[in-house]
Structure 1
Amino acid sequence: MRFGVNYTPSQGWFHHWLDFDLDAVRADLDSVAALGLDHIRVFPLWPYFQPDRALIRPRAVEHLVHLVDAAAERGLDVNVDGLQGHLSSFDFLPAWTRTWHRRNLFTDPEVLDGQAAYLHTLAAALADRPGFLGMTLGNEVNQFAAGPHPDPDRATADQIDAWLERMLAACEKGAPGKPHLHAGYDATWYQDDMPFTPAQAARRGALTAVHSWVFNGTAQRHGRASVATEHHAAYLIELSKAWAGDPHRPVWLQEVGAPAPLVPAEHAAAFAEATVANALDCPDLWGITWWCSHDVSRDLADFPELEYGLGLLTNDRRPKDLARVLSRAARGHTYAPAPRTTALTVPADPAARSRCAPGGDVFEAFFRLTADGARPTTVLDTRATDRDHLTARALREVVTPDRVLRTPRGGTRS
């Protein structure tokens, strides 16, 4: 089990790549390592690193290598996101893909060539560095492929699958044998027309990544301290397992945070404690990586209000109560969850994913079971009678959402 944090530099946010200060980075990493965490996830901004399709800036790549080395000196392993992409409500895409040069991010042959070259370059530069974990293709790149993005790069699921295969291959070629993966926001699991599918998330790459944010309707519908809100991360971990080919495929809770005002600052530590405890009750969890390390400076304008206070540490590197919760968990957790033996059926049809979203019958049934102490996981409806599959996952009971929601609270399902 790994405990880490998504690294947000205390000086200049991710714009720090423009005037990279290794001493400031080292001070940030000292404050992270002091919490007892063991890894970070870092975000080179794509247009800063590859401002022209044929120009991947050597100095920028050198700065990234210096950051990874500085982390290793402090006992911190590093996962690197490549195609940034989207961060904290802002899009960072190179000019050679937008406006007058508008080309589809997922289907245009020249864009694909540029992306593959960029990912290969980063992976190759880091392949032999101590502590380099591997590449994530990009941060929530799926948000570019469909609404509600205001200018989506439309693609079919087959085109996205081809894109994933090529980009993961570029990472593997650059850094063979590392656990490379891809990651999307929860529309992968919840949005009917999202071309990034649950099957791709659970089968492509070395790990399944889930990003858990309760501002997606969960906290609004159920409340700050509800079963659904405090178990939302665990739900996504277990939901992902329905599509996995490997019955014990590792799942990485790659992003989870305490967003105000839905989770007020004074309740952030309690939310984190509950979220972490519930995630640790999920078998096959690779790790938990909190969003984020340091607050965004109030000197920077135009961020949504919630983004300024998500850090474990303040902008001047002081730990919050939230940080102490993660530190205690990292230093003192015991990870030995029992198998989850009750499975809730979920639709295999990706056009029915909204049933798994807040308000959907799968979502509501899962938390009904959770409230009743059942510790549910999920299984595709097409696998619900596959004895070999159920046995491989130690599943003893399969229930349907309609049956759960018809059963009186506390009543038997048998």
Structure 2
Amino acid sequence: MKFGVNYTPRVGWFHHWVDYDPSEVARDFDTIKELGADHVRVFPLWPVFQPNPTYVSPVALRRLEETIAIAAERGLGVAVDGLQGHLSSFDFLPSWLLTWHRRNMFTDAFAMEATHRYLRDLAKACAGHDNVFALTIGNEVNQFTGAVHPEPHPATPRDITLWLDTMLSALREGAPGKDVLHSCYDASWYDDAQPFTLEHVARWGDITAVHAWVFNGTAQRFGPDSFETRAHARYMVEVARAFQVDPERPIWLQEIGAPRNVLPEASVEPFIRETVAQAAGAGLSGITWWCSHDVARGLGDYPELEYDLGLIDESGRIKREGRIVAEAVAEAASAPVDRGAAALELDLAGDGGRAALAPGGSFWSDYMTTARRFGHPRITLVGDRVGLGGLAHA
């Protein structure tokens, strides 16, 4: 099981692509290696890398390749995300999708062609680097389709099928043989209005990515020290596995963290240890913690929780939380996989749709009751919704 961190540069955060300093990246990666991590997930900022629909910055691509090379020198693997997209409450869309040039990023043919061009060129820059092990279309781009977004880009499941097929093909064209995937935040699990469906999550690309955050109502509803809060990541993994065509398809816990807005300090260590142990028992391909470094207090206008999510502080020192995460992952990696003897059937249509999966929903409640008594159950999907929504396996 891989163990890594989502790389948040200590100096300049993701704006470091503009004021790039390879010595700072090297120093960050030295500390990440000291933490015991074996990989980093890096985030090119889309407007910096593709400021114009027909222009992908060669300077930015060279900086990405230099970052990958610095990681290789330290024995670190690299996963690269393309579309940023959305990070830590900020949106990063290029100007050619905004205001006077407003286009729907998921349905406009010109926008899709331009995005395909960028992802293909980004993948080409990564293709020759052996330590690049995965390419993700982008970070939680499904948040742009939801009504919660102030300026949404609406789409249907059919639209998203075409969009995902187009973007995954761009990554495969640019970097043949690399694993390619996409990531969603948990609305795709819990909200029937989301056009990124559970079938998309679990069947498109080569790996299933899970982003498991307990500030989604889980910790608020059940409490920071509850079984449900510490079992949430494992639950999401099991739901994702139920929708996979291949039960052995790799599942990557690509984002997990200990947010202080719902976890008091005394709850952080037991949350980390129990969450990691339970999730790893599902047989994950890897765990990538959010995030490597705290956001510097000198950078303004972030939600308060963002300033303290790192495993390394803004001065470059590994925090106690970092040591705890590293210990928890090391212990979990040597423990046997525990798939559980119990089983639950999931009939999404009969149970009331994705709301039944959400914290407090009917299936959620059945699952947690079973897991508490008998261990995490295997979920068997009753029927197959693919086809009903015009989807096809890709």
Calculate the TM-score normalised by the size of structure 1: 0.90
Asked if the contact 2:4–2:38 (Cα under 8 Å) also holds between the matched residues in 1, the reply is: yes
Secondary structure of 2:113's counterpart equals helix
Is 2:349 aligned against 1:357?
Answer: no
Partner of 1:60: 60
Secondary structure of 2:180's counterpart equals coil
Is 2:85 aligned against 1:85?
Answer: yes
Rounded Cα–Cα distance in structure 2 between residues aligned with 1:321 and 1:32: 14
Q: 1:213 corresponds to which letter in structure 2?
A: W
Rounded Cα–Cα distance in structure 2 between residues aligned with 1:158 and 1:358: 27
Secondary structure of 1:372's counterpart equals helix
Asked if the contact 1:143–1:185 (Cα under 8 Å) also holds between the matched residues in 2, the reply is: yes
Rounded Cα–Cα distance in structure 2 between residues aligned with 1:117 and 1:367: 44
Higher mean C-alpha displacement, 301-310 vs 260-269:
260-269
Write out per-residue CA displacement over residues 271-293 of structure 1, whole angstroms, 9 at most, x where no aligned residue: 1111111111113x111000000
Partner of 2:270: 270
Partner of 1:387: none
Rounded Cα–Cα distance in structure 1 between residues aligned with 2:198 and 2:311: 30
Deviation (angstroms), 1:221: 0.4
Partner of 2:26: 26
- Aligned pair in 2 of structure 1 residues 63, 93: CA closer, same or farther (>3 Å)? same
Asked if the contact 1:134–1:175 (Cα under 8 Å) also holds between the matched residues in 2, the reply is: no
Q: What is the percentage of aligned positions where both structures have the same residue? A: 48
Secondary structure of 1:239's counterpart equals helix
Partner of 2:280: 280
Deviation (angstroms), 1:361: 0.7
Rounded Cα–Cα distance in structure 2 between residues aligned with 1:163 and 1:61: 24
Rounded Cα–Cα distance in structure 1 between residues aligned with 2:259 and 2:188: 20
Deviation (angstroms), 1:147: 1.6
Is 2:170 aligned against 1:162?
Answer: no
Rounded Cα–Cα distance in structure 2 between residues aligned with 1:159 and 1:341: 39
Regions of 4+ moved over 6 Å: none
Deviation (angstroms), 1:157: 0.2
Partner of 1:403: none
Is 2:111 aligned against 1:111?
Answer: yes
- Aligned pair in 2 of structure 1 residues 324, 256: CA closer, same or farther (>3 Å)? same
Is 2:290 aligned against 1:296?
Answer: no
Secondary structure of 2:179's counterpart equals coil
Secondary structure of 1:183's counterpart equals coil
Asked if the contact 2:339–2:377 (Cα under 8 Å) also holds between the matched residues in 1, the reply is: no
Rounded Cα–Cα distance in structure 2 between residues aligned with 1:94 and 1:347: 41
Write out per-residue CA displacement over residues 225-278 of structure 1, whole angstroms, 9 at most, x where no aligned residue: 111111111010011011100021111000000111211234323211111111
Rounded Cα–Cα distance in structure 2 between residues aligned with 1:44 and 1:303: 19
Deviation (angstroms), 1:27: 0.4
Rounded Cα–Cα distance in structure 2 between residues aligned with 1:348 and 1:361: 11
Partner of 1:176: 176
Deviation (angstroms), 1:365: 1.4
Q: 2:73 corresponds to which letter in structure 1?
A: E
Deviation (angstroms), 1:132: 0.6
Deviation (angstroms), 1:379: 1.9
Query: In angstroms, what is the RMSD of aligned CA positions?
Result: 1.4
Asked if the contact 2:281–2:339 (Cα under 8 Å) also holds between the matched residues in 1, the reply is: no
Higher mean C-alpha displacement, 333-342 vs 57-66:
333-342
Partner of 1:389: none
Is 2:372 aligned against 1:371?
Answer: yes
Secondary structure of 1:185's counterpart equals coil
Write out per-residue CA displacement over residues 2-49 of structure 1, whole angstroms, 9 at most, x where no aligned residue: 111100000011011110010001100100000111111000000011
Q: 2:94 corresponds to which letter in structure 1?
A: P
Deviation (angstroms), 1:331: 4.2
Rounded Cα–Cα distance in structure 1 between residues aligned with 2:147 and 2:344: 29
Rounded Cα–Cα distance in structure 2 between residues aligned with 1:146 and 1:180: 24
Secondary structure of 1:313's counterpart equals coil
Partner of 1:133: 133
Partner of 1:234: 234
Rounded Cα–Cα distance in structure 2 between residues aligned with 1:65 and 1:351: 47
Rounded Cα–Cα distance in structure 1 between residues aligned with 2:142 and 2:194: 8
Asked if the contact 1:259–1:306 (Cα under 8 Å) also holds between the matched residues in 2, the reply is: yes
Secondary structure of 2:184's counterpart equals coil
Partner of 2:204: 204
Partner of 1:394: none
Rounded Cα–Cα distance in structure 1 between residues aligned with 2:249 and 2:158: 23
Q: What are the residue-to-residue correspondences of 1:326-365 with 2, within 5 Å?
A: 326-332=325-331, 333-349=333-349, 352-365=353-366
Higher mean C-alpha displacement, 319-328 vs 141-150:
319-328
Is 2:39 aligned against 1:39?
Answer: yes
Deviation (angstroms), 1:329: 3.6
Q: 2:296 corresponds to which letter in structure 1?
A: S
Partner of 1:393: none
Higher mean C-alpha displacement, 68-77 vs 329-338:
329-338
Aligned length: 382
Asked if the contact 1:241–1:379 (Cα under 8 Å) also holds between the matched residues in 2, the reply is: no
Partner of 1:402: none
Secondary structure of 2:41's counterpart equals strand
Q: 1:373 corresponds to which letter in structure 2?
A: F
Rounded Cα–Cα distance in structure 2 between residues aligned with 1:116 and 1:31: 35
Secondary structure of 2:18's counterpart equals helix
Provide structure 1 residue ranges, at least 5 long, that are not aligned to the other structure: 384-414
